[in-house]
Amino acid sequence: MKFAQIGRSGQRFALAVVAIALAGPATAETRTRTIDVGGVARSYAITIPDRAPNAQAMPVVIALHGALGSPHQIRDYMNWERIAQREGVIIVYPAGLGRTWNDDRPAATRHALRSSTADDVAFLTRLADSLIADGLAARRQIYLMGISNGGFMTLRMACEAPERFAGFGVVIGSMPLAKAQTCRWPTPKPVAIVSGTDDRLIPYTAAAAARMKIFGAAELADYWAKRNGCGSPGHQAVPQAGTRPARTSVAIRSWTKCAAGAGVTLVTIDGGGHQAPISPAPARGTPLLNAVLGPRNTDIDTAEMLWMFFKGNGRR
């Protein structure tokens, strides 16, 4: 089923459904901490794996929630926790003020969201620095990813504070077209993008995205591939998982011959909505979420794919 663009009232409803459907209880393994940023207390949740070595800095993934989300929502929505325990990775879930991120989009293109004035660039920069200072994070192994509003924020950080991070993952998000004119990118860094062709909040095609003054998915991947000095991409189709009727499918376009080995990957979910793929499929279905945001692919797992991408592109 193809999803048409929705109006402002529909956008508010969709965002509210996300906030309700993704809510989940906190667990003992995830602790909440705060840091001061210009006199403002900013909070984040952090999971330190049980297998964490003593007095040894570890790889860190900082995961940004979407609009009206929270640290615990993105934790429950994705599978970063199992990666933390298996791979020995610290996962950090920062909280946006007002449950949104100041992602540098023009106010007219932010759907039902009010524009945030928070200094989120300073917050995320300070957060990365504090993780290093506390001896938790390996300086050259801090990765940043985000969903939707958090994905836009991820690419704002890529353009304004690229030195702090070793790689970037953008899930059902994009970047303002105007950002390409001011983006600071002194050293190539790996960038992965995950986007659904039937996403009605963040359009996949260039024509639809241009009306919101943002990049379409393929154009966004091309932009970062050029910035990284990449050659021609390779293509891969992902087999369908299980025997269920296929509503979505996955195609991957990867640029691997890039400057400094900083690859770029575009994961296209054909028929996918405004959701991050997950595998295996959740035991508890989310039919309301699927009805509002579109199908969620279960052939791949977003967190697993991003972690393999980060590892495969090495340290920067």
**pLDDT per position as a tens digit, 196-255:** 999 999 999 999 999 999 999 999 999 999 999 999 999 998 988 865 556 899 999 999
- Terminal Cα-to-Cα distance of the chain (whole angstroms): 41
Listed as own residue / partner, the contacts of 153-157 with beta carbons closer than 8 Å and 24 or more positions apart are: 153/64, 153/96, 153/101, 153/102, 153/103, 153/120, 153/124, 154/64, 155/179, 156/103, 156/104, 156/120, 156/121, 157/121, 157/124, 157/125
CB-side neighbour CA atoms (13 Å) of 95: 19
Nearest to 174 by CA among 108, 207, 218, 121: 218
* Separation of alpha carbons 75 and 26, rounded Å: 9
In the prediction, which pLDDT does 15 show? Answer: 45
pLDDT over 90 for what percent of the chain? 75
**pLDDT tier at 111, thresholds 50, 70, 90:** low
- DSSP 3-state of 311: helix
* Residue range 40-61: mean pLDDT, rounded: 88
> Looking at residue 8, what is its pLDDT?
47
pLDDT at 243: 53
Distance CA 255, CA 261 (A): 10
Cα–Cα dist 239/162, whole Å = 34
Residue 130 has pLDDT above 90, yes or no: yes
Distance CA 165, CA 253 (A): 23
Greater pLDDT, 27 or 241: 241
Q: What is the mean pLDDT of the chain?
A: 87
pLDDT at residue 50 above 90?
no
Strand order in the sheet with 264-270: 30-37, 40-47, 90-94, 58-64, 137-147, 167-171, 191-196, 264-270, 249-255, 234-238
Q: What is the pLDDT of residue 22?
A: 43
Neighbours of 246 (CB within 10 A): 13
Higher confidence at residue 205 or residue 283?
205
At residue 155, the pLDDT reads: 98
Beta carbons within 8 Å of 245's beta carbon, 6+ residues apart: none
| Euclidean distance between CA atoms 83 and 90, whole angstroms | 9
Spans of all domains in the chain: 12-312
Q: Between residues 138 and 53, which one has the greater pLDDT?
A: 138
pLDDT of residue 52: 65
- Helix, coil or strand: residue 308: helix
The topology under which CATH files domain 12-312 is Rossmann fold (3.40.50)
On the question of pLDDT at 271 being above 50, the answer is yes
pLDDT of residue 186: 93
CA-nearest of 133, 136, 177, 171 to 154 is 171
- Could you tell me which residue, 157 or 242, shows the higher pLDDT? 157
